[in-house]
Amino acid sequence: MKQFKLSQVILASFVLLITSCINNKEKVYENSADIPVSREMTAELTSPPNVPTPVGRRKAKKLMVSMEILEKEGTMTDGTTYNYWTFGGSVPGSFIRTRVGDEVEFTLSNHPDNKLPHNIDLHAVTGPGGGATSSFVAPGHSKTFSFKTLNPGIYVYHCATAPVGMHIANGMYGLILVEPEGGLPPVDKEYYIMQGDFYTKGKTGDPGLQAFDMQKAVDEKPDYVVFNGKMGSLTGDNALTANVGETIRLFVGNGGPNLVSSFHVIGEIFDKVHVEGGSTINENVQTTLIPAGGAAIVEFRVDVPGTFILVDHSIFRAFNKGALGMLKVSGEENKTIYAGVVQEGIYHPEGGTIQTMPNNGKANVEESTSEKSLAEKMESGKKIFMQTCFACHQAEGQGIPNAFPPLAKSDYLNADVNRAIGIVLKGKTGEITVNGAKYNSVMTAQSISNSEIADVLTYVYNSWGNNKTNVTTSQVDKVRSGK
């Protein structure tokens, strides 16, 4: 009997010992600062829209991060350049992927050809200035500091050297991901997107090297609102890609410096949104707000093929200032989910008349003036194109497959200039065939003047392999008047 009780005591003690070990382990991992670091490893850094390999179930490491600051001229849009200040040579800066409990040893180098000192403030850092006070570095020098990743989430980093707003507005921001213990659930595709607003001396689309405009920045009136540092960074050949049935995770940041983003993917619903990059998850979300200096993780499955448009749903930013990207999905159609056009008919709620926009009683026909030179038309036409036509027809006239026809090397466009003028004036509905492909979209009439129509069509006809027609204002006058 005593032996039985002794066995019970030993068994109970063993159970308590095991439980204590488990509890102690849980207690250690509940406090991120106490997570032990196993060994040293070099961080994988990637330029947008790519992201590093997922952390998975690896143990906490001493993570070595080396990043170089580069001041460099780059393309804002076709024909327009800007002096960007960058982390790692790209806007946004290199993507950093860590896990909770990592001890990050961060070396920030300022290239000797740079003109200014810089630093880095990482929102994932618990410490003065997010690291800014320890990383202020002059051209030709480097600084090394370290920090422990305590909180899981997706965090913005940016330069915090005065004037802070100017450094951010010139492109000095990026994302650092801190994965939870055990990593994020696996998905098929991950991409890195970051919105930013830019302020230039010239207007949107003005050619040449554009300088930063402090007054516009203070007034919060950007000329460009773009994804990944430039117009068209995620369109055409640069579009994101996926296959039907795949799960997609987008790490979406907003560098600002001023505007809040209303991030939306046209034709998709986010299955999950990690609100502001934190632990709260919303489901079945159409559009998510991302504050300046904030980020979110959005996840969804693509069920049908096609081109899905990424936008800031403050929609003039997308269609007029550049906050527009594409996700091209390949694969088999699923008519149960999306059947496309089932039936087409004519609807005339106003008696079949053509509806026009009011113009305060003034005719929309301007007096003919001396014709501009071709160079002047090209400059004006490009600006009008980027403000009016870019979203549907894209920066190089390539259009959007299955949605909007191409203007580049377009047999339909080159065949009849008067027809093209009429479409701009009155719009176009119904099926057309362009370069052998059928399109059945709607183009609305454009409320622009005759000279503006002449300029933008001249720009289109003299770009992308078209027939170099010089459209005149008098031609537009005749088409408008029906002569």
Among residues 269, 210, 226, 276, the alpha carbon closest in space to that of 48 is found at: 226
Burial 45-70 (b: 16+ CB within 10 A, else e): bbbbbebbebbeeeebbebbbbbbbb
Q: Which two tokens stand for residue 283?
A: 């489901």
Residue 331 has pLDDT above 70, yes or no: yes
> pLDDT value at position 151?
97
Residue 382, pLDDT above cutoff 50: yes
CA nearest 218: which of 241, 197, 194, 187? Answer: 197
Report field, pTM of the whole predicted structure over 0.85: no
* Residue 348: pLDDT band with limits 50, 70, 90: low
Identify the band that residue 347 occupies on the pLDDT scale cut at 50, 70 and 90. Answer: low
pLDDT tens for residues 12-52?
Answer: 555 444 444 444 443 445 578 888 888 999 999 999 999 99
- What are the pLDDT digits (tens) for 307-320? 999 999 999 999 88
Query: Do 40-183 and 190-330 fold alike per CATH?
Result: yes
Fold of 374-481: Cytochrome Bc1 Complex; Chain D, domain 2 (1.10.760)
Tally of residues, the chain: 483
Q: Which of 479, 427, 481 is nearest to 454 (CA)?
A: 479
pLDDT number for residue 213? 97
Give the tens place of pLDDT for each residue, 106-142. Answer: 999 999 999 999 999 999 999 999 999 999 999 999 9
Reply yes or no on whether the pLDDT at 386 is more than 60.
Answer: yes
List the helix and strand counts (H, then E) for the chain.
11, 26
Neighbouring CB atoms inside 10 A of 313's CB total 17
Contact 236, 394 (CB under 8 A): yes
Fold of 40-183: Immunoglobulin-like (2.60.40)
Q: Does the pLDDT at position 169 exceed 80? A: yes
Q: What percent of the chain has pLDDT over 70?
A: 87
Task: Tell me which CATH code domain 190-330 carries.
Answer: 2.60.40.420
Mean pLDDT of 268-279: 96
Per domain, the residue ranges of the chain are 40-183, 190-330, 374-481
Q: pLDDT tens digit string along 421-460?
A: 999 988 887 789 999 988 877 677 777 889 999 999 999 9
Do 5 and 28 form a contact (C-beta atoms < 8 A)? no
DSSP label of 101: T
pLDDT, average across residues 72-79: 94
State pLDDT tens for residues 228-256: 999 999 998 899 999 999 999 999 999 99
Structure confidence at residue 341 (pLDDT)? 63
